[in-house]
Amino acid sequence: MQTKNIRHLSREEISAELTSLGEPAFRAKQIWQWLWEKNASGFEEMSNLPKGLRDKLAENFSIFKITIQSKQVSSDGTIKLGFTLYDGEIVEGVLIPADDRMTACISSQVGCSLSCSFCATASLPRKRNLYFDEIYDQVAIINKIALEHYSKKLSNIVFMGMGEPLLNYSNVIKGIERITADDGLGMAPKRITVSTAGIAKMIHKLADDDVKFNLALSLHAATDEKRDKIMAINETNNLAALKEALIYFHDKTGTRITLEYVMLSGYNDMKEDVVELVKFCRNVPSKVNLIEYNPIENGLFKKSSGNALHRFKDYLEDNHIIANIRRSRGEDIDAACGQLANKELAKAELADSLAQSK
């Protein structure tokens, strides 16, 4: 018999379930603390509950914790983790250590439905959305890894792993609520960045919901002609629509947007490209992260030269736009930006596809 995921119940719903089981409702507070503050993976861990109650909980409910399937440590200290979900699906997350911060890069979907030509995750079909508790678990586990390896807690979270966060809106929002809650992980919303390929109506919804976390747009080209070719989402969410949505977001929340721009040699790293980027930035209160392109299997692009990166940065700064260069981290273990593709899963998908075609 399939049992309920107890973490999908509110505290009030747990209280009602306890009453129906003939147990005192006050136990709901203790159970809630074990689930979210102490990150219990099983009811047997809940040591301040009577054994009879623990047995009843085990009979009627489940805790679908994600588990570590694989772990790789880069030469630069970056750690990539493969997470197994309750149904056997796998997603990846990354711990990125730096002197002044510990950042978790987490996933929001199994695979991705978008087909950005510079991103390895695009090679995987979207299987399903992650539930909010699976999003929460990634952060809790990566925080534990940060403490074990570096004796430091996580300071930042970026939704820049597998999937498009705004196509899993409700779970991402609820996951962030649990991550930032005092009876959760207690992280500050301003330490969290949600990155989107650009879905204008959902950016509007973020603004209307008055979110407190940061927003990043994966821009990567500042003309529709070039963006259409590398990001199919631009055909239904063009730059004019995104510009209007971003201005709306800033006006409602007061939060400046980060524009992510991966530098592709000979495609979007020339003088005319940075001129168009400046025009876009002048309309949208923003700062720019220039990102080194990370090679992927069967990729169409090459990394821009260091000179091109710095020319871009200098031109932006000369035009009074804040710009930073984001160096690759974890490239040797395919953990860098755009490389999360779960190669073993991709091989399995290919084998399955070939078998079905015979």
Active-site entry in 92, 164, 260, 331: 92
Q: What is the pLDDT of residue 181?
A: 97
Active-site entry in 105, 112, 119, 337: 337
Q: What is the pLDDT of residue 296?
A: 66
Name beta bridge partners: 193: 158, 214
Q: Which residue has the tokens 């199994």?
A: 110
Which fold does the domain 4-62 belong to in CATH? Answer: DNA polymerase; domain 1 (1.10.150)
Name the amino acid, one letter, at 211: V
Of 126, 136, 77, 80, give the one whose Cα is nearest residue 337: 80
Q: Judge whether 119 counts as a catalytic residue.
A: no
Q: Judge whether 244 counts as a catalytic residue.
A: no
Distance CA 160, CA 12 (A): 33
Burial of 241 (0-12, 13-18, 19+ CB in 10 A): middle
Q: Hey, is 95 helix, strand or coil?
A: strand
pLDDT digits (tens, 9 = 90+) for 296-329: 666 678 889 999 999 999 999 999 999 999 876 6
- Helix (H) / strand (E) containing 241: helix 239-253
pLDDT digits (tens, 9 = 90+) for 112-153: 766 666 676 666 777 899 999 999 999 999 999 999 999 999
Distance CA 240, CA 246 (A): 10
Angle at 223 between CA 219 and CA 228, to 5 degrees: 75
Phi/psi of residue 36, nearest 5 degrees: -110, -35
Q: Hey, where are the domains in the chain?
A: 4-62, 67-350
Distance CA 156, CA 286 (A): 19
DSSP character for 304?
P
Question: pTM to 2 decimals?
Answer: 0.89
Q: What is the pLDDT of residue 120?
A: 64
- Helix (H) / strand (E) containing 67: strand 67-73
| 112 to 125, 203, 296, 343: CA distances (angstroms) | 6, 19, 16, 14
Q: Which CATH architecture has domain 67-350?
A: Alpha-Beta Barrel (3.20)
Q: List the chain residues with pLDDT less than 50.
A: 333, 335-340, 342, 344-358
Q: What is the pLDDT of residue 295?
A: 73
b/e per residue 267-278 (b: at least 16 CB within 10 A): bbbeeebbebbb
The secondary structure of 18-48, three-state, reads HHHCCCCCCHHHHHHHHHHHCCCCCHHHCCC
